[in-house]
Amino acid sequence: MFEAEKSILVRVEIAGVRSEDLRVSIDRDVLRISGVRTAPSGGEVRRLHQMEIAFGAFERSIRIAVPFERDRVAAHLEDGFLEIRVPKRLPAQRRVEVETE
C-alpha cells in the first residue's frame, strides 16, 4: 500500500486469479479483496513435489486510515497484479469574506 498526494494505491500480487473470480468491496473504512484461485487442471498427477501458490478461497481486509472518496475507488487487474486506487478526500476549501466597518 502506497500513499501519494491525492490517493492511496493498493497493489496485490494475485497471479492465476481471473477478474470474474475477484471481488473488491468497501465497508466503512475497510477495503476487502476476496476471490478464488482455482487449481489448474492438468493431466494425471502422481506426486506433488513442490507447491508455492495456495489454491482456493481467500480474503484480505485493509483498513484505509485517511478519509477517501468511496464512489471513486477503481480496481484494475493486469499481469497478475491487482491495483486499487483509493482517491483521498481533499479538505474542502472555503473563502471567508472579510467585512469592513
pLDDT tens, 42-101? 667 777 788 788 889 999 999 999 999 999 999 999 999 999 999 999 877 778 889 888
Q: Grid cell 489448474 — which residue?
A: 40
Q: Cell triple for residue 51?
A: 507447491
Least Cα distance to 36 among 61, 19, 51 occurs for 19
The C-alpha atoms of residue 55 and residue 33 are separated, in whole angstroms, by 15
Residue 42: predicted pLDDT: 67
pLDDT tens, 13-35? 998 899 999 999 999 999 999 99
Q: How far apart are the first and last CA of the chain?
A: 52
Provide the 8-state DSSP code for 88: B
The CATH class that applies to domain 2-40+54-87 reads: mainly beta
Per-domain boundaries in the chain: 2-40+54-87
- Confidence (pTM): 0.79
- 23 touches 2 (CB < 8 A): no
